[in-house]
Amino acid sequence: MKGIILAGGTGTRLLPCTAIASKQLLPVYDRPMIFYPLNTLVKAGIKDILIIVSPEHAGNYLNLLGSLLERDGINVSFKVQRSPRGLADAYLLAEDFLDGEPSTMILGDNIFQDDFSEAITSFEKGGRVFAVKVPDPERFGVVEFHPETQNVISIEEKPSSPKSDYAIPGIYIFDGRATEIAKGLKPSSRGELEIVDIHKAYLEQNALDVRILEGAWFDTGTHDSLLEASVFAREAKLGDAFAPILNEAILEHNKEIKRHVALKQ
């Protein structure tokens, strides 16, 4: 299992904060946002992680994360996405990195309370995505369940008339076929390669598993949702539940920066 964190994009809804910083490097309470999806992957035991970034912020990610977890045997590498072409484009950019292996991709601006370790480590083949009940499903990919069997009937991207109030949040587990499926996709009316089309491809093959999430989920693309995520992270002490190796690496990184500052004074 390999891991992908999608941290590109322009973050225009968070201007002016994102005029000089990547959205995924903005703080969620006491640490940069990118640490939350990184923790999800590290906690599940994933050792090879690719972070997809925009060209103007690549150096900042390298400075923050380049060697952070090397001593723990976790390899973090980076790939530049020159222009946003949709979430499914990540599987094309990551083709050489994945090399036909299964992967867990998580969006860099999604904050979860749930622990996905079991869902990731127990994965065998096909696709596995998640569903969470939301008040505004028209903003997301929406999954429709059969009222009796609870099997998935359909998946739609941002429907004007949602068939359910279950949205698909930004974490996806796929086997090695994801890249080949992405290669066959055509851009949507928005001009993007839609992740929902990969979901549909697995669904058509009767190979898509959808699990319901119970914990809190934040899509931190707006000022309000970013604030809500920060307050929740503080109150729920999300940082305390981080993988110990990641928290230790963060503490050591902080000490190193303080030593460097002291030497300059």
- We report the CATH number of the domain holding residue 244 as 3.90.550.10
> What type of residue sits at position 231?
V
Exposure class string for 9-48: b at 16+ Cβ within 10 A, else e: bebeebeeebeeebbbbbebbebbbbbbbbbbbbbbebeb
pLDDT in tens, 82-140: 888 889 999 999 999 999 999 999 999 999 999 999 999 999 999 999 999 999 999 88
pLDDT in tens, 184-229: 999 888 888 999 999 999 999 999 999 999 999 999 989 999 999 9
Whole-number percent of the chain with pLDDT over 70: 100
pLDDT in tens, 50-71: 999 999 999 999 989 988 999 9
Extract the tokens encoding 127.
Answer: 């696709």
User: What's the domain range around 54?
Assistant: 2-264
Q: Which of 157, 184, 194, 171 is nearest to 123 (CA)?
A: 171
23 confidence band (pLDDT: 50, 70, 90): very high
Residue 263 has pLDDT above 90, yes or no: no
Give the chain's domain count: 1
Specify the pairing of strand 217-219 against strand 110-112. Answer: antiparallel
Q: Are 120 and 102 in contact (CB under 8 A)?
A: no
